[in-house]
Structure 1
Amino acid sequence: MKITYDPRYNIAYIHLREKKAQVNTIQVSEEMNVDIAPDGTIYGIELLNANQQLSLDEQGKLTVVNEALGESSEIKLLI
Structure 2
Amino acid sequence: AIDISVTPFTNTLAVKPLNLSVGESKSITVLYIDIVEHNMAIKKQTYTRLEDNVYRFETEDGIFVANIEFDTDMLVKKYDSLFERVYCG
Q: TM-score, normalised by structure 1?
A: 0.35
- Name which one, 1 or 2, has greater alpha-carbon Rg: 1
Q: Which has the higher helix share?
A: 2
Give the structure-2-normalised TM-score: 0.32
